[in-house]
């Protein structure tokens, strides 16, 4: 057996979060035969789930086909939990992990299901979790997946990583079903880098689509974006096979090609002429907006060139207009591709 811990029997799963992705993963765990307790901050969400109405605020029209219990009490949600799925926004990870820590039994696996980089520190979310809840065992779930698809039971494959391969296997088996396939990995860094950077790159791809530049330009930008993701991932210690797998290239392709992605949709709106300020005033921002500047800064610290990421960051911060940024990318000096 790898690692120092005993094999984990995972039957009771706590899902922390009341949004669409949290509800979709709760349904997935329940379909896999697990006992599921979902924590949500909004009492209306808790009431709707417990009344058998599903989560109409975030997954309208999707009936819950399995029994899931909801609560607004973290202590109740985490009581006797064999594993925890933390499904709250990336920038709230530290605060949520600190709130979870007093209720977690030692060595409880906590699976990060958000994608991003902590804006204030440049830390990957796994590092944040280890600082805020040091007694837990961090894991990460990431890959090409939309909440609506997963909630409807449509075929989906993702990566689930933990430093201990046995734990990654156990968590994957606990969530697996005929339509949801988690592939185990021990590359925590690679899985996190893919999930975080694809959000930034999807904004650029959305902007190109919004400009009406065509499928050829979109494919080129996606490919060059993947080169940036790979350079930074390798510098941070990711494995090449992770970056070309589900949580890297797979997630990038999905997110950079569909308006279902909040990040692509944000870029699409920019390309169609809406301003960053206007979109920011409309409510919750796409995660790539939070991660862009810190991702570019992280790349600079490692001597990595990220022209697409830098262009996205500059546009979001108002240092350059979108047209100038896209033109700048298209007029970079020609060089050999590799």
Q: Could you give the CA distance from residue 171 to residue 158 in angstroms, rounded to a whole number?
A: 12
Structure-token pair, residue 228: 């940036």
Give the pLDDT band of residue 2 (cuts 50, 70, 90). Answer: very low
Residues 6+ apart with CB under 8 A from 332: 307
What pLDDT sits at residue 283? 67
For residue 221, how many C-alpha atoms fall within 13 Å in the half-sphere facing its CB? 30
End-to-end CA distance of the chain: 40
Q: Which residues are catalytic?
A: 198
Share of residues in the chain with pLDDT > 90 (%) = 88
What pTM was computed for the model?
0.94
β-pair type (12-16, 83-86): parallel
Checking if the pLDDT of 82 tops 70, the result is: yes
Task: Please give the C-alpha separations between residue 242 and each of 143, 160, 230, 238, 295, in angstroms, as whole numbers.
Answer: 11, 11, 10, 7, 19
Structure-token pair, residue 145: 């997946």
Average pLDDT rounded to a whole number, residues 314-328: 93
Burial class (CB in 10 A: 0-12, 13-18, 19+), 282: exposed
Structure-token pair, residue 272: 């169609």
Element (H, E) at 9: none
Residues 6+ apart with CB under 8 A from 163: 3, 137, 138, 186, 188
Structure-token pair, residue 43: 């009492």
What pLDDT sits at residue 329? 87
Domain annotation for the chain: domains and CATH numbers? 12-186 (3.40.50.720), 193-330 (1.10.1040.10)
CB contact at 8 A, 191 and 140:
yes
Longest dimension (CA), the chain: 61
pLDDT in tens, 239-284: 999 999 999 999 999 999 999 999 999 999 999 999 998 988 866 7
CB contact at 8 A, 196 and 228:
no
CB contact at 8 A, 232 and 295:
yes
What pLDDT sits at residue 332? 83
pLDDT in tens, 4-60: 555 568 999 999 999 999 999 999 999 999 999 999 999 999 999 999 999 999 999
Q: Could you give the CA distance from residue 300 to residue 292 in angstroms, rounded to a whole number?
A: 12
């Amino acid at each position: 057996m790898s690692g120092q811990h005993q094999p984990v029997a995972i039957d009771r799963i706590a899902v922390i979060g009341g949004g669409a992705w949290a509800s979709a993963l709760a349904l997935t765990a329940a379909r896999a035969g697990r006992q599921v307790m979902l924590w949500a901050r909004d009492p209306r969400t808790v009431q709707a789930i417990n009344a058998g109405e599903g989560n109409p605020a975030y997954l309208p029209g999707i009936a819950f086909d399995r029994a899931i219990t909801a609560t607004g009490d973290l202590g109740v949600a985490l009581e006797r939990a064999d594993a925890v799925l933390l499904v709250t926004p990336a920038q709230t990870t530290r605060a949520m992990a600190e709130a979870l820590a007093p209720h977690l039994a030692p060595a409880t696996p906590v699976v990060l299901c958000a994608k991003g980089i902590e804006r204030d520190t440049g830390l990957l979310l796994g590092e944040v979790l280890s600082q805020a809840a040091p007694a837990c065992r961090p894991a990460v779930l990431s890959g090409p997946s939309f909440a609506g698809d997963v909630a409807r039971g449509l075929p989906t494959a993702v990566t689930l990583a933990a430093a201990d391969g046995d734990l990654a296997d156990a968590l994957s088996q606990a969530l697996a079903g005929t339509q949801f396939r988690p592939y185990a990995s021990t590359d925590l860094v690679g899985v996190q880098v893919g999930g975080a950077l694809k959000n930034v790159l999807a904004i650029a791809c959305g902007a190109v689509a919004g400009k009406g530049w065509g499928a050829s330009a979109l494919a080129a930008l996606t490919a060059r974006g993947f080169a940036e993701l790979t350079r930074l991932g390798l510098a941070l210690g990711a494995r090449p096979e992770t970056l070309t797998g589900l949580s890297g290239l797979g997630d990038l392709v999905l997110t950079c090609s569909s308006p279902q992605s909040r990040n692509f949709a944000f870029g699409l709106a920019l390309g169609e002429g809406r301003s960053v300020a206007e979109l920011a005033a409309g409510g919750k921002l796409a995660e790539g907006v939070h991660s862009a500047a810190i991702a570019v800064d992280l790349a600079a610290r490692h001597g990595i060139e990220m022209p697409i990421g830098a262009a996205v960051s500059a546009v979001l911060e108002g240092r350059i207009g979108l047209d100038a940024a896209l033109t700048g990318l298209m007029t970079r000096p020609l060089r050999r591709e590799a």
